[in-house]
């Protein structure tokens, strides 16, 4: 459809006014599930003529529909919408994992010598969160799953030893690792080829309902700090899904923004950028404030809102009770985003001065592109173009990590990445700015398995940095606690843009698929344990009313 310049600008200005963040009047209401479209509600005054040109809401509505549908098609083309087979595969994996967890709880109950009647009621469950819990996963996504167990199942012995052994002996499980030294300790493994992160939370009850209410004070009373942190992901996900006005629209917005963040190099929490929970809250915030806007309008509003956002004012989803913002005494947060499940907790962030600048620059670019989305030649693919590192920067810090085999490399890379913020802050002190490219590259000609990172540096400042001194500083940070982790080698150097591998400015170049890194924790003080027998019902049935026990249970059953 052809428009002259005056009409095009008029439509853009009109949409900008109607969709202004301060406006409480919705523009359109487009349901993605059934494409249910209602008429505009913003023309109550209905001016007949504006400088000789009558407004035509039907034209605007039609163009918004076309832009929304074309954006959904981009998501399909990028493989971001899972098929039914993928959904069934993940559902089956979760169901099998639940059965193993229930068996594990029965095993621990028997070995603890608890009263026989507890064997009937004692149980655990699996709760999902993250991209899978929010319904925005794809074929390459992992599953964030929380193991919830009863009070007597400890994390040190029962979770990391007994459950670990049960999973390791399962034919569906491979590449299992324990990550004990993280903020949220977990096991990481593949189940039927699907990568799963499995932290643990124990509640002070005997029986855990299959879909336990993680907001019920009965279950949350007096739980330990690790369990509280582990539960926060599930609680945050469920809060978001409860607060957004339309779940399908929210999912579409979040898929788009995650693709944008990954392509533009601002999606990697360990490197100082956004994590999944940050983008989920930002997307939910826009959907909540504009409940009737179309998908294309919501993307426009998201970039406009956070380009102009007065950071460090926190982003807070509103629920039925509006709580005043209470500043914390923790380290300064550049972009505070409140967890929707708690008025006093914020999404963990590693954002630094450099990454804050990069994120804001990308928000501004997104705003400048999408504000003209009603022009006839608008193309969504431009928004999702990969960030051109090789053209943007003349210098790079090259971080070369290697190990003797792939398993050792995964452990080593995960450990080093957990300390990347120290290196980033050091480079900022020396050069004022650093752009840590999250993409993992590999040198296929090297003799050992390896991963390489290239971080962009300001051009013309190579004389201000001594790579050997920076490497020495970073190695000291890595060495802290290194006795617990499998080790590899690390080499840091400064290279120029022409020394980058071919197509290094493309996020797909040499990228390792399904390569979420991890590290094994080797506990040298732990004695070798004899493999524990699996739970067998007939053993308990012949044990009389009570099994041998050295402890008196104090906690009630919550499941039956």
pLDDT at 455 over 70: yes
Looking at the predicted structure, is the pLDDT value of residue 476 above 50?
A: yes
Distance CA 318, CA 521 (A): 40
260-263: list long-range contacts, CB under 8 Å, 24+ apart: 260/362, 260/366, 260/383, 260/384, 261/362, 262/507, 263/384, 263/385, 263/386, 263/387, 263/507
Give the position of tokens 């007597």. 152
Q: Which two tokens stand for residue 290?
A: 């504009």
DSSP-based three-state secondary structure for 259: helix
Residue 303 token pair:
């970039």
CA atoms within 13 A on the CB side of 22: 3
Phi, psi torsion values for 515, nearest 5 degrees: -120, 40
- Output DSSP code: residue 99: H
Q: Which CATH architecture has domain 389-515?
A: 2-Layer Sandwich (3.30)
Establish whether 267 is an annotated binding residue. Answer: yes
Does 142 appear as a known binding residue?
A: yes
Residue limits of CATH 3.30.460.10 in the chain: 84-240
Q: What is the pLDDT of residue 376?
A: 72
As a whole number, the mean pLDDT across the chain is: 80
Summarize pLDDT for 284-306 with one digit per residue, the tens: 999 999 999 999 999 999 999 99
Which residues belong to CATH 1.10.1410.10 in the chain? Answer: 244-320+333-383
pLDDT at 182: 80
- Range in 21-25, 81-85, 150-154 the model is least confident about: 21-25
pLDDT of residue 298: 96
pLDDT at position 505 over 90: no
Q: Terminal CA-to-CA distance of the chain, rounded, Å?
A: 64
- pTM listed for this prediction: 0.81
33 sits in the region (left: phi over 0; alpha: psi -120 to 50; else beta) called: alpha
Tell me which residues are annotated as active site: 131, 142, 144, 197, 258, 267
Q: How confident is the model at residue 224 (pLDDT cuts 50, 70, 90)?
A: very high
C-alpha dihedral (113, 115, 116, 121), degrees to nearest 10: -110
Confirm whether residue 258 is marked as ligand binding.
Answer: yes
Listed in order, the ranges of the chain carrying CATH 3.30.70.590 are 389-515
pLDDT of residue 375: 75
The H or E element containing residue 220 is helix 217-220
State mean pLDDT over 494-516: 58
Q: What is the pLDDT of residue 83?
A: 84
How far lies 356's CA from each of 6, 145, 257, 269, in Å? 37, 30, 17, 12
* Residue 330 scores a pLDDT above 80: no
C-alpha pair distances (Å), 445 with each of 197, 254, 260, 501: 32, 38, 32, 12
CATH 3.30.460.10 fits 84-240, yes or no: yes
CATH fold of 244-320+333-383 reads: Poly(a)-polymerase, middle domain (1.10.1410)
Q: Which residues contact 28 (CB under 8 A, 6 or more apart)?
A: 37, 38, 40, 61, 64, 292, 293, 294, 297
Answer whether 341's CB lies under 8 Å from 239's CB. yes
Question: Which long-range contacts link 535-542 to residues 24+ away (Cβ below 8 Å)?
Answer: 535/103, 535/104, 535/106, 535/107, 535/109, 535/110, 537/106, 537/119, 539/110, 540/110, 540/116, 540/119
Average pLDDT over residues 483-499: 82
144 is in an annotated binding site: yes
Q: Residue 360: pLDDT above 50?
A: yes
Tens digit of pLDDT for each residue in 145-203? 999 999 999 999 999 999 999 999 999 999 998 888 788 999 999 999 999 999 999 99
Tokens at 182, concatenated: 């993280």
Q: What is the pLDDT of residue 518?
A: 36
- CA-to-CA distance for 112 and 122, rounded, in angstroms? 12
58 is known to lie in a ligand binding site: no
> What's the CA gap between 459 and 452, in Å, rounded?
21
Mean pLDDT of all residues in 335-343: 88
């Amino acid at each position: 459809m052809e428009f002259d310049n005056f009409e095009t600008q008029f439509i853009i200005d009109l949409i900008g006014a109607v969709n202004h963040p301060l406006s409480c009047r919705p523009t359109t209401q487009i349901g993605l599930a059934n494409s249910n479209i209602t008429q505009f509600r913003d023309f109550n005054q209905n001016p007949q003529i504006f400088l000789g040109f009558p407004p035509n809401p039907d034209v605007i509505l039609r163009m918004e529909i076309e832009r929304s549908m074309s954006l959904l098609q981009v998501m399909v083309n990028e493989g971001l919408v899972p098929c039914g087979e993928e959904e069934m595969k993940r559902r089956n994996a979760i169901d099998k994992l639940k059965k193993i967890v229930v068996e594990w709880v029965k095993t621990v109950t028997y070995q603890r010598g608890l009263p026989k009647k507890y064997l009937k009621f004692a149980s655990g469950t699996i709760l999902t969160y993250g991209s899978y819990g929010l319904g925005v996963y794809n074929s390459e996504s992992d599953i964030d799953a929380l193991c919830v167990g009863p009070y007597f199942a400890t994390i040190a012995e029962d979770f990391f030893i007994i459950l670990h052994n049960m999973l390791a002996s399962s034919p569906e499980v491979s590449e299992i690792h324990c990550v004990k030294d993280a903020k949220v300790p977990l096991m990481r493994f593949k189940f039927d080829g699907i990568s799963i992160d499995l932290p643990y939370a124990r509640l002070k009850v005997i029986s855990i309902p299959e879909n336990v209410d993680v907001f019920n004070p009965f279950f949350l009373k007096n739980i330990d700090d690790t369990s509280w942190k582990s539960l926060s992901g599930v609680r945050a996900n469920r809060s978001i899904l409860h607060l957004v006005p339309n779940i399908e629209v929210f999912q579409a917005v979040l898929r788009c923004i995650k693709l944008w963040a990954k392509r533009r190099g601002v999606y990697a929490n360990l490197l100082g950028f956004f994590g999944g929970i940050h983008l989920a809250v930002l997307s939910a915030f826009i959907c909540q404030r504009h409940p009737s806007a179309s998908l294309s309008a919501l993307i426009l509003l998201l970039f406009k809102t956070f380009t102009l956002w007065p950071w460090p004012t926190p982003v807070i989803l509103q629920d039925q009770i509006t709580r005043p913002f209470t500043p914390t005494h923790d380290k300064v947060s550049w972009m505070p985003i409140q967890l929707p499940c708690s008025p006093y907790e914020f999404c963990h962030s590693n954002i630094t001065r450099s990454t804050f600048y990069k994120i804001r620059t990308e928000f501004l670019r997104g705003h400048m592109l999408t504000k003209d989305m009603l022009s006839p030649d608008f193309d969504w693919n431009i928004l999702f173009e990969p960030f051109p590192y090789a053209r943007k920067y003349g210098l790079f810090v090259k971080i070369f990590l290697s190990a003797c085999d792939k398993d050792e490399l995964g452990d080593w890379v995960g450990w080093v990445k957990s300390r990347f913020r120290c290196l980033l802050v050091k480079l900022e002190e020396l050069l004022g700015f650093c752009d840590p490219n999250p993409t993992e590259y590999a040198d296929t000609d090297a003799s050992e398995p390896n991963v390489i990172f290239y971080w962009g540096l300001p051009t013309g400042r190579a004389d201000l940095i001594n790579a050997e001194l920076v490497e020495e500083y970073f190695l000291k940070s890595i060495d802290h606690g290194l006795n617990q982790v499998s080790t590899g080698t690390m080499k840091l150097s400064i290279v120029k843009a022409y020394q980058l591998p071919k197509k290094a400015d493309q996020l797909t170049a040499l990228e390792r698929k399904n390569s979420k890194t991890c590290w094994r924790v080797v506990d040298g003080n732990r004695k070798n344990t004899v493999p524990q027998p699996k739970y067998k019902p007939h053993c308990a049935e012949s044990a009389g009313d009570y099994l041998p026990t050295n402890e008196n249970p104090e906690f009630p059953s919550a499941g039956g």
